[in-house]
Amino acid sequence: MSLRKHLLLLAGLVTLTIAVVQPTRPHANLEILTHRAGDSAPQQVHAAIDLGVLAVSVLVTWSRQLAR
């Protein structure tokens, strides 16, 4: 093999190693649960925002009985 092919193979192995070993990025998770325990059909809104460095997941749940 030529030197160029060896360098390409080495670069591919290094890239694969970095992709496998890289730890999961930190993320934020916020959940707000405000439904009553006896409510069999709570209303829900779920939103997620991922900015690359910061991820926010919001789950808002409320009881139909509380909405009245």
Rounded CA separation 3/11 (Å): 12
Q: What is the mean pLDDT of residues 38-58?
A: 75
pTM of the model: 0.39
Q: Do the beta carbons of residue 21 and residue 49 sit within 8 Å?
A: no
Token readout for 33 is: 């649960």
Instruction: Report whether pLDDT(25) > 70.
Output: no
Q: In the chain, what is the greatest distance between 2 CA atoms, to the nearest angstrom?
A: 75
- Mean pLDDT throughout 53-59? 76
- The Cα–Cα gap between 29 and 54 comes to 10
Domain coordinates of the chain in residue numbers?
A: 25-68
Asked if 56 and 48 touch (Cβ cutoff 8 Å), the reply is yes
